[in-house]
Amino acid sequence: MDLETPPSHRPRSRGGVAGLVRRSPARLAVLAFVAVIAVFAVLLSLPAATESGVRAPLADAVFTAVSAVCVTGLVVVDTARYWSDFGEAVIITGIWVGGFGVLVLASILGLLVSRRMGLQQRLLAQNETKALRLGEVGVLVRIVLVSSVAVQATLAAVLLPRFLVAGEGLGEALWHAVFYGISSFNNAGFVSHPGGLPRLGDGPVAGDWWLSLPIAVGVVVGSLGFPVLLVLRERWRSPRRWGLHTQMTVFGTLVLLVVGAVVIGGMEWTNDATFGALPWYDRVLAAGFASAMPRSGGFSTVDVSQMSTATWVVTDALMFVGGGSASTAGGIRVTTLAVLLLAVVAEARGNRDAEVFGRRVPQGSLRLAVAVGLVGTSTVLVGTVVMTAVTGDPLDVVLFEVVSAFATVGLSVGGTADLPEAGKWVLSALMVVGRTGTMTLAAALALRESSRMFRLPEERPIVG
C-alpha cells in the first residue's frame, strides 16, 4: 500500500491494451505471439494450402504454424510434397514474421504508420531486443528491418546461381534461393526441396560447399542477435570497444562452433553412414555444418538418425545452449551459459565477483542466468517425461526431439515424423515456450508483481 499518496489521488489503471502494456508487457507479448500463430494455423488449414486440395488435420496445421512462427523447422509432413505453393508461401511468411519477433514487428508497423515511435512501443521493442538504452530502440528496430532484409537478400543472391547451375529454371531457382535465404538467417530449418537439402550435383549434399557454406553462415549470423549485429556493424574493427554482451556472445559462439566441430567430427569421422565416406576436406565441412546447426539452424546434410548416440548427446547439449539473446535462435542462450561458467570459476577461486573482459558481472545477471538455466532444464525434463509416456520411444530419441523443440532447432532423429496427435500438441507447446523464452513466459503468467520495502536477515545455508 502506498502510504504517501491518498487513494483518491492514485491514477486508475487503464483497461484494454494500454493497461495490459503497463501491467505486463511480457503477457501481451505472449498473447500477441499466440494470436499470430493462430492466424497462420488457420491459413494452413485451408484446402488451398495442401497439394492434394484436402484440408490438413488441425494438429498438423497447428504444428506447422508453430514450427514456422517459432522458426524451429520440425515437421510432421514433408514440406515440399505435402504443402502447395500457397502453403509454402504461408510457411515462409510465418518464418519471416517469427524471425523479427512479434514485438519488433509491431514496433516497425507502428513506426511506418505514424512516422514516429511512442514510449509504449519503445518499451515493448526494448523488451524484445534487449536494447541497453531506451533511446537506442528506434534505431535498433530500423536496423533490424534493413540489415535482416539485406542479409537474407545477399544469401539468396549467393544461392541463386547454385540452383541455376543445377538445371532449375529461373523462377524455381529464385524461389528456392529466397526460401533458403529467409529460412537460414531466421534459423528456421525449413527446406523447399522434397526430402531435405537437395543433392544438386554428382557428389553428396554434405560435400556441396556452394550450398552448405552460405546456409551455415546465415544461421550463425542470425543466431548472434540483433543487438550484437548492431555493435558489429558500427565497431567490427575495434573488438575492445564492444560491450560485454557482444564480447561474450561472439567469443562464446566461436568456442562452441570450434569445440562442436572437433567433437562431432571426431565421433563421426569413420562412420560410413555420415562422414566416413567423404573426402577429408568434405568431412571438415560436414563437421562444421553439424556444429553450426545446433545454434538453432536445424538443417542437416547427413542423416542425423545414423549418427552415434554419443553424437546425439553432444548435439543435445549444443542445442540446449542455442544462440545469442534477442536473436532468431533458441535455447537458454550463449550468455547464460557464459555467466554460469564464470560464476563457477569465481566460486572455485574464492572470488566474490564473476569477472570477464575487464568487467564485473552483476549479481542480478547471475540470478537470472540461474533461473533461465533451471527453468529450461525443468521444461526439458517435464517434456521428456510426457513425450516418453505419449510415444513410447526410446529415451535418447525422445530427449533429442524434446530439446530440439524447446531450443527451436528443428533437427530430428526421426521421432517427429511418426508422432501421435498428443505428441504433436506437446512439441507445439515446447516450441512456443522455447521461442517466447522461459523467463518471458514466467513473467507473462505471473499473477502480480510486488516490491518489498525491507530485507530479511541473511543466513547462509550449506550448499553442496
Quick: pLDDT tens for 41-73.
999 999 999 999 999 999 999 999 999 999 999
The answer as to whether 145 is a domain residue is yes
**Which region among 100-104, 143-147, 362-366, 412-416 has the lowest average model confidence (pLDDT)?**
100-104
- What is the rounded CA–CA span in Å between residue 77 and residue 61? 10
Query: What's the mean pLDDT in 422-444?
Result: 82
**Which region among 60-64, 160-164, 318-322, 445-449 has the lowest average model confidence (pLDDT)?**
445-449
Quote the mean pLDDT of the chain: 85
Give percent above pLDDT 90 in the chain.
Answer: 59
pLDDT range class, residue 95, cuts 50, 70, 90: very high
Owning domain of residue 95: 20-443
**b/e for 328-362, b at 16 or more Cβ within 10 A?**
bbbbbbbbbbbbbebbeebeeeeeeebebeeeebe
pLDDT over 50 at 9, yes or no = no
The answer as to whether 451 is a domain residue is no
**DSSP label at 351?**
-
Cα 16 vs. chain centroid, distance in angstroms? 30
The answer as to whether 113 is a domain residue is yes
Query: What's the mean pLDDT in 416-434?
Result: 92
pLDDT range class, residue 11, cuts 50, 70, 90: very low
The answer as to whether 375 is a domain residue is yes
Q: For residue 173, what pLDDT is reported?
A: 96
**Which region among 14-28, 366-380, 413-427, 431-445 has the lowest average model confidence (pLDDT)?**
14-28
**DSSP label at 82?**
H
- What is the rounded CA–CA span in Å between residue 70 and residue 433? 9
Number of domains in the chain: 1
Which DSSP string corresponds to 231-283? HHHHHTT-GGGS-HHHHHHHHHHHHHHHHHHHHHHHHHTT-TTTTTTS-HHHH
pTM metric for this prediction: 0.88
Query: What's the mean pLDDT in 2-26?
Result: 49
Q: For residue 429, what pLDDT is reported?
A: 95
Q: Which of 79, 129, 61, 156 is nearest to 410 (CA)?
A: 79
- Cell numbers standing for residue 372: 533461465
Query: What's the mean pLDDT in 102-117?
Result: 51
The answer as to whether 462 is a domain residue is no
Task: Please check whether residue 388 is in contact with residue 358, taking contact to mean a CB–CB distance below 8 angstroms.
Answer: no
pLDDT over 80 at 126, yes or no = no
Quick: pLDDT tens for 283-338.
999 999 999 999 889 999 999 999 999 999 999 999 999 998 878 888 999 999 99
Q: For residue 15, what pLDDT is reported?
A: 52
Quick: pLDDT tens for 358-392.
899 988 888 888 988 999 999 999 999 999 999 99
The answer as to whether 12 is a domain residue is no
pLDDT over 90 at 404, yes or no = yes
The answer as to whether 464 is a domain residue is no
The answer as to whether 7 is a domain residue is no
